[in-house]
């Protein structure tokens, strides 16, 4: 799983859309404001009120507070059957770093007034840049880390196990994920990569206009390999 050579660079203050794609379709789409982009590492932010698209099964479960229904969403993904629904990002500001070739993205969640809440490692396929942002696919497993980076816990292991049973995560991807887990923990414990001290990146940015999804957000994606 490698990142492509094609790398459009996005200007600070512009919009970049992160899409999850599967079966040749968009599974989710969320616009972010670009903070920095050097052609390899893309640093983005999103604020409460940002309008996104997500699978209708997931939005229904989130609105109902039905945590168990998350597993039904895995079945929808495995079967290639889902509809998209509007979803509004709420409650937190997120700072996100996507690095070419990396098996995960790293996110720092803060309150709207800048109080750190937690770090979040989202395991996913290495991104492909597109004309509007980047395409990837969430691989269910997450790592949640305290604000001071001192302790961590694994999240959504039940979803990951269900994805394995359904064949969404095949054996090769599972082995790749084991290596990705090890890499994330090494970087965390050694305070390198996205966990190296870098306050210029991880502090609350100034507020600005909320990004919006472009008309091409649902155009046919090229799936990440």
pLDDT (tens digit, 9 = 90+) per residue, 139-198?
999 999 999 999 999 999 999 999 999 999 999 999 999 999 999 999 999 999 999 988
Q: 53: how many CB neighbours lie within 10 A of its CB?
A: 21
Answer yes or no: is 9 within a domain. no
Does some domain include residue 208?
A: yes
Task: Determine, yes or no, domain membership for 5.
Answer: no
**pLDDT for residue 133:** 96
| Whole-angstrom distance, CA of residue 13 vs CA of residue 9 | 12
Average pLDDT, the chain: 92
Q: Among 110, 135, 109, 115, which Cα is nearest to 42's?
A: 135
At residue 200 the predicted structure's pLDDT band, cuts being 50, 70 and 90, is: confident
Are 110 and 92 in contact by the 8 Å Cβ rule? The answer is yes
The pair of three-digit structure tokens given for residue 78, joined into one six-digit string: 């495995």
Residue range of the domain that includes 195: 15-218
Residue 223: is its pLDDT beyond 60?
no
pLDDT above 90 covers what percent of the chain?
83
**Neighbour count for residue 42 (Cβ, 10 Å):** 26
**Residue 70 pLDDT level (bands cut at 50, 70, 90):** confident
- Total count of domains within the chain: 1
Question: Would residue 117 count as lying in a domain?
Answer: yes
User: Does 70 map to a domain?
Assistant: yes
Would 120 be classed as within a structural domain?
yes
Q: What values do phi and psi take at 217, rounded to 5?
A: -60, -30
- Count Cβ atoms below 10 Å from residue 120 Cβ, excluding itself: 18
Residue 102 maps to a domain: yes
Residue 225 has pLDDT above 90, yes or no: no
Whether residue 4 has pLDDT greater than 70: no
pLDDT, tens digit, 9 for 90 and up, residues 79-121: 999 999 999 999 999 999 999 999 999 999 999 999 999 999 9
The CATH number of the domain holding residue 98 is: 2.40.380.10
| Res. 138: pLDDT tops 70 | yes
Proportion of the chain above pLDDT 70, given as a percent:
95
């Amino acid at each position: 799983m490698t990142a492509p050579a094609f790398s459009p660079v996005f200007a600070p203050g512009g919009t970049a859309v992160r899409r999850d794609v599967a079966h040749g379709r968009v599974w989710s789409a969320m616009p972010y404001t670009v903070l920095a982009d050097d052609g390899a590492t893309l640093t983005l932010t999103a604020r409460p009120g940002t309008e996104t698209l997500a699978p209708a099964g997931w939005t229904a479960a989130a609105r109902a507070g039905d945590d168990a229904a998350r597993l039904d969403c895995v079945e929808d993904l495995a079967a290639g059957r889902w509809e998209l629904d509007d979803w509004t990002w709420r409650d937190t500001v997120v700072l996100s770093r996507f690095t070419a070739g990396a098996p995960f993205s790293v996110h720092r969640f803060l309150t709207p007034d800048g109080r750190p809440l937690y770090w979040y490692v989202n395991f996913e396929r290495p991104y492909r840049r597109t004309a509007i942002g980047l395409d990837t696919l969430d691989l269910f497993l997450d790592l949640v880390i305290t604000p001071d980076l001192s302790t961590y816990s694994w999240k959504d292991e039940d979803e990951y196990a269900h994805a394995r049973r359904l064949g969404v995560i095949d054996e090769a991807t599972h082995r790749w994920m084991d290596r990705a887990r090890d890499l994330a923990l090494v970087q965390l414990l050694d305070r390198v990569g996205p966990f190296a001290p870098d306050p210029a990146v991880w502090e609350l940015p100034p507020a600005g206009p909320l990004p919006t999804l472009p008309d091409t957000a649902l155009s046919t994606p090229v799936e990440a390999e």
